[in-house]
Chain A
Amino acid sequence: MNIQINRDQRFIDELDNKLENEGPFCSWELFKMSYHSSVATMTEEFKGLTAPSRLPHITFLQHQLDCAKQVIEEMNGRGILADEVGLGKTIEAGLVLKEYMIRGLVKKALILVPASLVNQWVNELRQKFYIPAISQGKRPVWDQNNVVVTSLDTAKRPPHRETILEQDYDFVLIDEAHKLKNHKTKNYEFVRSLRKKYCLLLTATPVQNKLTDIFNLVSILKPGYLGNYDEFTKQFGRDRKNLFNDTHLKQLVQKVMVRNRRGDTGIDWTKRNVETVWINFSDEEQQAYNELVEIVDETSNFSSITFTRELCSSREACYLSLKKLVNQGNTKNTEAYEAFMKRIEQLPHHAKADKVVELMKDKDEKFIIFTEYRATQFYLQWYLQQHGISSVPFRGGFKRGKKDWMRQLFENHAQVLIATEAGGEGINLQFCNNMINYDLPWNPMRLEQRIGRIHRFGQEEDVNIYNFAIKNTMEEHVLNLLYEKIQLFERVIGNLDAILADLEIQDVEHEIQTIFQESATEGEARIKLENLSSVISYAQQQQSEEDWNDTRESS
């Protein structure tokens, strides 16, 4: 072993020079202060974290501190951060980066995140961690010592690609790293080729489909650690469950991956009160609904199922879709639809909208209302205004700046935010603790995302979720048979996407649509829905027994 020693020759040459020229010299005060600031900023121990003491404005959670420590001390700066959604992977990663910067080990870093999150990452690093991160703008700044945040798509494209691959990075971070699970993709190839010292991969789903996903991720960090591809598949197979079932593999992976689950964090999460609000259509509305079901039955058009669904949300949503259909002019019973449109015009205010007003009466708390349809969003905004309730709209398609602006309006001025999409990686609305699901998405993941906007760190109140469903409509089935059964509301379903992948259900929404579409009777639809939810809840039980829950104890 030899230890390389680097000496300082510049100092004495420069001092000599200054003595020759009689200065300039600094005062004793500045000399003293310079010494003391160096003493204050040095890191005295190999181990431990110094970053938290410099960030007194952030309260770190124990599992975040443990994670950062584990990554630095045991994984030597290369690891997968695979906490469940909402436990603060960004905070953990920021903490690791900050620690390395304080210790002078990282000067040049590349942060690759989804394009929609670039600004958010820059802000978090700057505001929370005082890390002078910059987003890659028009003039590339790849070749300087700095912390650059950009998207993988930008980075891998010429002309950036070539420059980036020439850089020596002290630190590379990839958010949403499950996109790298396939080693044959350009993304994977690109990330493998980066010259890097420390490297963090962030993902909530380290194995999505195949066990080799984890092999590929680990091979970015520590090639050879899990053997080569052939050896790996030979030894551990391809079944993703082996990650949790095979003790040897589990142990190996725990040395390169931190996975916290909500239950392990020991934090008192604020409660989630979920209430199903049953609503009855007015007689007129119910008649109209029944009529529409009949018309739709006659024309088994692929999208016709959406009309009834829309009617459960607002007249406007349904009307607009019908109008579009009629204008296209290729449906069989145009006349029936046209007659129905006339009927819609006569309908009174929607039962759900009235319910919202009723629910909010006498409350001055803030509410978020989620709906699936833009027409409903417009209608609601108008209807609430009629009742003296101020609201702001929110859509996934808004530009970043507009999103921030709307969020701010909501926080400071409006009582209600009406959103069409959780679309929503990105905005945090912890200052609000009431949510109305005006109509339910048919994809449980999207519902969880919605709830995640307000039920997360920083939420200090119990969270109230009101799920609206209209009796004697398809909504009743979906709510009773799907959501209640998989107990979606009561618990967090961080791994539902993995379960669905396992069951080869790619799109729950599509699945449900097909069920309604293809069933001859309501009874048939009900049985099929019931089957679907049984399968999911069975897989859920299995999964919860499988996943490890003692990641941390190993350390």
Chain B
Amino acid sequence: MTLENLHNFITDYFTANQCEILENDNGKLSIQLTDKMDEKLMNRPFYWQYVKKLGYPGEPMQVSFITNPDRKDEDGEWVHFGSPRIHQIFNLLNSQGKYTRLFERTTTGNRTALIPWLVTNVKISYTGKHKKDEILSIGLQLINGAMKTMMMDELEKLHLQPSIPDFCYTITPIIRLKSGYQRINRYVENYLENIEHSWAEESWSHLQEEKKLLEHFYQHSMDEDEDRFNQEIKDLEGRFKPQINIEVINGGLFYLSQASSSKIIL
């Protein structure tokens, strides 16, 4: 899967990181990096170390990215899904966009209560002979315990901001954060129990077959080769033993209006 529009994606990324856009036209984006982004992206630690030591202001670089393949020979760095720069940005996002607390923007003049939600985006990796990933976006309402999957789709319809809007107040969660997380975990495990795992069965029986071959190979030399045999068994298990990894991509506490909260649960 590719991002629908890589150009907009990187434009948004640099905007969200307070970099000034100098040029943005026909698949070419030129930006003035901030000190912070230069340090993160441009890989010149010695320069920044030196500048800081001397107490000088640093001079962050200007860079151009080209997303239009027809223009890739022009001045600037051609980026595409898969290019190292894009993956550098993805990696940065892993830490930059991991934890949040956000409030829904409401326009009413009345005092409005905001209801707390714990939202986690979870990546499940199934690893055996082969590997695949699945992403679940789960929201848990921390007052009544209602749960919602595909939560990100809902959130994207709303306007969210980092500070609490005027005339709004937050309701204290009834479900504590950590037990809320337990509920989400239980949901994920329940989900896993109810899907079929032929991939794991295949991997498991394959592992047993390979072990048998190995035992046969070493049957006459087990005495002198025991260490190697054990090592190779370990290698086999590393390669075939079915595993499921659950990892939270990102998550946080979201305070949503009563109206939005009810709409989501419906």
Binding site for B on A (CB under 8 A): 1, 3-8, 11-12, 14-16, 18-19, 23, 25-47, 53-56, 72-73, 76-77, 103-105, 130, 132, 168, 192-193, 195-198, 219, 222-225, 227-228
* In the bound complex, CA of A167 to CA of B197 (Å): 32
Report the nearest A residue to B199, measured CB to CB: A46
* In the bound complex, CA of A39 to CA of B238 (Å): 26
* In the bound complex, CA of A104 to CA of B90 (Å): 14
Tell whether A40 pairs with B3 under 8 Å between CB atoms, given A4-B241, A56-B80, A228-B217. Answer: yes
* In the bound complex, CA of A132 to CA of B87 (Å): 12
Q: A33-B13, A104-B125 are in contact. List 20 more A-B contacts (CB 8 A).
A: A3-B197, A12-B178, A14-B99, A19-B177, A19-B253, A25-B101, A27-B162, A28-B102, A28-B162, A29-B15, A32-B152, A33-B9, A40-B81, A44-B133, A44-B134, A46-B131, A77-B239, A103-B131, A224-B212, A228-B219
Tell whether A35 pairs with B137 under 8 Å between CB atoms, given A5-B244, A6-B243, A228-B217. Answer: yes
Q: List B95-113 residues whose CB lies under 8 Å from chain A.
A: 96-102
A27 / chain B contacts, CB cutoff of 8 Å: 16, 100, 162
Cβ of B123 and Cβ of A53 under 8 Å apart? no
Contact of B228 among A11, A12, A192 (CB under 8 A): A192
Cβ of A33 and Cβ of B201 under 8 Å apart? no
Nearest 10 A-B pairs (CB), nearest first?
A: A54-B82, A34-B97, A224-B217, A224-B213, A42-B133, A11-B248, A30-B97, A46-B130, A29-B16, A34-B93
* In the bound complex, CA of A218 to CA of B197 (Å): 31
Contact of B98 among A34, A132, A219 (CB under 8 A): A34
Cβ of A196 and Cβ of B235 under 8 Å apart? yes
* In the bound complex, CA of A8 to CA of B138 (Å): 15
Contact of A104 among B16, B131, B135, B177 (CB under 8 A): B131
B242 / chain A contacts, CB cutoff of 8 Å: 1, 3-4
Tell whether A35 pairs with B1 under 8 Å between CB atoms, given A6-B246, A25-B252, A228-B220. Answer: no
Q: List B1-41 residues whose CB lies under 8 Å from chain A.
A: 1-3, 9, 12-13, 15-17
Tell whether A193 pairs with B228 under 8 Å between CB atoms, given A19-B101, A43-B131. Answer: yes
A selection of 26 A-B contacts at a CB cut-off of 8 Å is: A3-B197, A3-B242, A3-B244, A4-B242, A4-B243, A5-B244, A6-B244, A11-B248, A12-B248, A15-B99, A16-B178, A28-B102, A28-B160, A30-B16, A33-B93, A34-B249, A35-B121, A37-B94, A47-B130, A76-B240, A104-B131, A222-B210, A222-B213, A223-B213, A223-B232, A224-B217
Cβ of B90 and Cβ of A41 under 8 Å apart? yes
Cβ of A15 and Cβ of B252 under 8 Å apart? yes
* In the bound complex, CA of A42 to CA of B217 (Å): 38
Report the nearest B residue to A41, measured CB to CB: B90
Distance to closest chain B CB from A6 (angstroms): 5
Cβ of A72 and Cβ of B246 under 8 Å apart? no
Tell whether A223 pairs with B178 under 8 Å between CB atoms, given A26-B99, A53-B2. Answer: no
Interface of B is mostly: mixed
* In the bound complex, CA of A532 to CA of B184 (Å): 78
A41 / chain B contacts, CB cutoff of 8 Å: 87, 90
Interface of A is mostly: mixed
Q: Mark B44-60, 1 if CB is under 8 A from A, else 0.
A: 00000000000000000
Cβ of A8 and Cβ of B247 under 8 Å apart? yes
B234 / chain A contacts, CB cutoff of 8 Å: 195
A32 / chain B contacts, CB cutoff of 8 Å: 97, 152, 156
Report the nearest A residue to B245, measured CB to CB: A6
Cβ of B69 and Cβ of A56 under 8 Å apart? yes
Distance to closest chain B CB from A166 (angstroms): 11
Report the nearest A residue to B250, measured CB to CB: A34
Report the nearest A residue to B176, measured CB to CB: A16
Cβ of A43 and Cβ of B251 under 8 Å apart? no
A168 / chain B contacts, CB cutoff of 8 Å: 238
Distance to closest chain B CB from A108 (angstroms): 12
Distance to closest chain A CB from B130 (angstroms): 4
Cβ of A197 and Cβ of B201 under 8 Å apart? no
A55 / chain B contacts, CB cutoff of 8 Å: 82
* In the bound complex, CA of A403 to CA of B258 (Å): 72
B98 / chain A contacts, CB cutoff of 8 Å: 26, 34
Contact of B130 among A30, A34, A54, A73 (CB under 8 A): A73
B122 / chain A contacts, CB cutoff of 8 Å: 8
Distance to closest chain A CB from B101 (angstroms): 5
Cβ of A34 and Cβ of B96 under 8 Å apart? yes
* In the bound complex, CA of A54 to CA of B81 (Å): 6
B90 / chain A contacts, CB cutoff of 8 Å: 37-38, 40-41
Cβ of A197 and Cβ of B238 under 8 Å apart? yes
Distance to closest chain B CB from A35 (angstroms): 5
* In the bound complex, CA of A405 to CA of B69 (Å): 29
Question: Is B216 engaged at the interface, CB distance under 8 Å to the other chain?
Answer: yes
* In the bound complex, CA of A45 to CA of B125 (Å): 11
Cβ of B218 and Cβ of A223 under 8 Å apart? yes
Q: List B147-169 residues whose CB lies under 8 Å from chain A.
A: 152, 156, 160-162
Cβ of B16 and Cβ of A33 under 8 Å apart? yes
B251 / chain A contacts, CB cutoff of 8 Å: 11, 15
